[in-house]
Structure 1
Amino acid sequence: MPTITYHHLDGSVDEIDVVPGTSVMRGAVAGGIAGIVGECGGQAICATCHVYVRPEYLAALPPLSEDEEEMLEETAAPRDPERSRLGCQLKTGPRLEKIVVDVPAEQ
């Protein structure tokens, strides 16, 4: 079962197990994880699921789509050119059995 770990600025950590195919955003919303809103429901049109992916997981991620790239220009928290991604676009599965992200200060 895939695992998603969310690190918060206050030092707290939430780790949840999810079914394969669950996105980082859906896992957070379903699990009541603070700091990830997901207003658009996963359509990559709001940037309220912005996360910073830990470097060791970047190689397993799909490439940025044009829509995701555009939305990342609109994030409330500063964009990290290497680590910023939309959680709705990061789905767990065979290539991504585990992912660790840092939750931004604001969405």
Structure 2
Amino acid sequence: MPKITFIEQNGTEHAVEAAEGASVMEAAVKNMVPGIDADCGGACACATCHIYVDDAWREKTGKAATMEESMLDFAYEPKENSRLSCQIKVTQDLDGLVVRLPEFQG
């Protein structure tokens, strides 16, 4: 199974195994990673699973679709590497993915 590392604002790391085909958000929720609220359950209808994708992984995670970009307007401190973790599907190519969590979900 691919491994994903979530890094909290305080530097605490949570390395989790993620099932292929699941979303990065689902992997976080299943493994109780703090800071991923996922209020809409992955419907791309909120911004409470906002993450910052490590620069080395941006190409592999792809670009945000139009709907996701619209929802990122509601995220706390969106940046160029912001994504909604519910919109990134786990594949074997994402083994080792590193993402950072914002200070809080907005």
Q: TM-score scaled by structure 2?
A: 0.93
8 Å Cα contact 2:18/2:24 also seen in 1:
no
Equivalent in the alignment of 1:78? 77
8 Å Cα contact 2:19/2:27 also seen in 1:
no
What is the 5 A alignment of 1:1-107?
1-75=1-75, 77-81=76-80, 83-107=81-105
8 Å Cα contact 1:92/1:98 also seen in 2:
no
* Alignment RMSD (CA, Å): 1.0
Cα distance in 1, alignment partners of residues 33 and 77 from structure 2: 20
8 Å Cα contact 1:43/1:88 also seen in 2:
yes
Cα distance in 2, alignment partners of residues 96 and 12 from structure 1: 21
Unaligned runs of 5+ in 2: none
Unaligned runs of 5+ in 1: none
User: Which range moved further: 45-54 or 95-104?
Assistant: 95-104
Q: Find the residue that maps to 2:6 and give its secondary structure.
A: strand
Cα distance in 1, alignment partners of residues 63 and 82 from structure 2: 12
1:73-106, Cα deviation, whole Å (9 max, x unpaired): 111x20102x100000111113323311001111
1:8-47, Cα deviation, whole Å (9 max, x unpaired): 1111100001111121111111111100011111111101
Q: TM-score scaled by structure 1?
A: 0.92
Q: Percent same amino acid among aligned pairs?
A: 36
Cα distance in 2, alignment partners of residues 95 and 2 from structure 1: 8
8 Å Cα contact 2:72/2:82 also seen in 1:
yes
Query: What code does the residue aligned with 1:59 have?
Result: E
Query: What code does the residue aligned with 1:65 have?
Result: A
Aligned residues: 105
